[in-house]
Amino acid sequence: MNHVVEELGTVLSYRAEQLQLQAQQGSIDMEDMVANSSQQSNGGGDDAGGDDTSQQSRRKRPRIIKGKQKGGRANMGPITTTKGAGGSGELALCLSSRRNMCIHERVMEESDREAVDTACRSMTASWVVEAVQQNPNSNLETCSFFDSFQEAGEATIIPSGVYDLEELKKWGQARGWCPYYLTRQAINHANVLVFNYQYMLDPKVAKMVSKELEAESIVVFDEAHNIDSVCIEALSVKINERGLEQARRSLGRLSSEISKIKASDNQRLNQEYQNLVNGLIDQGLLAAPANDNTAGSRALSSDILNESVPGDIRRAENFIQFMKKVVEHLKNRLTTITSDGGVRSETPLAFLHRMTNRTTLDIKPLRFAYSRLNSLLRSLQVSNMDDFNSLGDVADFSTLLATYSEGVAKFAVIMEPNGSSIPGISDPCIQLSCLDSSLAIAPVFKRFSSVIITSGSK
């Protein structure tokens, strides 16, 4: 049992005492109590039993989210009690990557995180599951743990207690449910969550994990002596020649995929554009229409669309051409770095001006490059996202560069002729480096009313 779990136990006991006190004083919200009792009377799970299922209701109450450093101890060691930590009926969970949570025998044997993610996605992507449902004799494979989890629907519950990764895997194995997806769903009901800093700080993943968390949640960054570097890393991108070559190949693959789909399923590409707009709304990059209160009202008027998603990248094939120009320009810049010799730095504005002058690209579409790429990959039903990591870096670079080019420079573009740490290998690179760690953490402070940063180091 390690110190993290002990701390959690203490926090939960304290929280349980507080709740008991509030209940005695009659200050617990009556609606909550009614909701809980109705949940209990409805059953709601074969293993959880009466009190234990009550925590599964979607109550809004303060939660504790505890970030731990990457590489910190993931195994918190089991503390499960029949009534939850401190006898309070609270649920405490940790969330990690598929690599640490997967129980599929073949997938678990994959060597690294990316390979596990890819293998999992190839069996759980919605289009794969649909294809197998329509044709059970197809060659496509799905994961039985994911299928059972999906089939169980509302019945997928975890009784109160404190769960480490091993406990979650055991729970999933016993019921035939995927622990990773089970936990991702259960975090919406948990009182204490423990996960890596990145899940809160990296905008690319934070929205997937923590978008449902209430503003009253208490966020604790534990062992936070390196939090500055984590914040800076989350918003920095490095690009080298090999990555650009991979990005160029990826664009070629996407281009032929688009041609194939245009011939066979053009409607999918039309739907793709609407998905992009909806995705931008979900991310808060685009305001939803004022009358967005009825089903199907997500469609935006054409003038808003024209203004919000620039025409240069609206159509899939236009976007590919657009990104090809970006890749070519970055390649040319890399060549210049090699011939010039020394390390150089430019402001994002200077770098961007040179890029737009030489390529005739507009700044606005660059801002949308990352979202646009993800939308396209989804529409083209790409499961093997790793093949597109380098292209993702180029899109991320473009988005960050165009977003943060104005005002006081919070980023620097560093061009380094010797980007490799291996002696004798030059590997020139362009790095968009974030200079202001507050950028990554600011949304956390804005969104949650209680954020605690702790560090035990001197």
Positions touching ligand SF4 (CB under 6 A) are: 98, 102-104, 107, 120, 123-124, 143, 145-146, 178, 180-181
Q: Which is nearer to ligand SF4, 40 or 148 (CB)?
A: 148
Residue 329 CB, nearest approach to ligand SF4 (Å):
38
Q: Which is nearer to ligand SF4, 160 or 183 (CB)?
A: 183
Q: Which is nearer to ligand SF4, 123 or 234 (CB)?
A: 123
What distance lies between CA 34 and its chain's CA centroid? 34
Query: What single DSSP character describes residue 79?
Result: B
Q: Which is nearer to ligand SF4, 100 or 278 (CB)?
A: 100
Residue 148 CB, nearest approach to ligand SF4 (Å):
10
Residue 197 CB, nearest approach to ligand SF4 (Å):
22
Return the SS3 of 414: strand
Q: Which is nearer to ligand SF4, 59 or 378 (CB)?
A: 378
**Phi and psi for 308 in degrees, rounded to 5?**
-85, -40
Q: Which is nearer to ligand SF4, 172 or 310 (CB)?
A: 172
Q: Which is nearer to ligand SF4, 178 or 441 (CB)?
A: 178
Q: Which of 16, 81, 10 is nearest to 52 (CA)?
A: 81
Residue 138 CB, nearest approach to ligand SF4 (Å):
18
Residue 49 CB, nearest approach to ligand SF4 (Å):
26
- Determine contact, residues 35/185, Cβ cutoff 8 Å: no
Residue with tokens 């009556």: 30
Return the SS3 of 431: strand
For residue 182, what are its two tokens? 């089970």
What distance lies between CA 196 and its chain's CA centroid? 12
Rounded to whole angstroms, what are the CA distances from 269 to 129, 247, 251, 369, 379? 20, 21, 16, 17, 7
Q: Which of 180, 173, 204 is nearest to 98 (CA)?
A: 180
Q: Which is nearer to ligand SF4, 103 or 380 (CB)?
A: 103
Residue 95 CB, nearest approach to ligand SF4 (Å):
12
Q: Give the Cα separation of 31 and 19 in Å (integer).
A: 15
Q: Which is nearer to ligand SF4, 199 or 368 (CB)?
A: 199
Residue 175 CB, nearest approach to ligand SF4 (Å):
12
DSSP annotation string for 84-111? -GGGS--EEEE---HHHH---HHHHT-S
Q: Give the Cα separation of 402 and 420 in Å (integer).
A: 27
Residue 163 CB, nearest approach to ligand SF4 (Å):
16
Residue with tokens 């690209």: 361
Q: Which is nearer to ligand SF4, 98 or 333 (CB)?
A: 98
Rounded to whole angstroms, what are the CA distances from 141 to 120, 203, 385? 10, 32, 18
Q: Give the Cα separation of 19 and 305 in Å (integer).
A: 48
Residue 120 CB, nearest approach to ligand SF4 (Å):
3
Query: What single DSSP character describes residue 138?
Result: S
Residue 143 CB, nearest approach to ligand SF4 (Å):
3
Q: Give burial (CB, 10 Å; 0-12/13-18/19+) of 154.
A: exposed
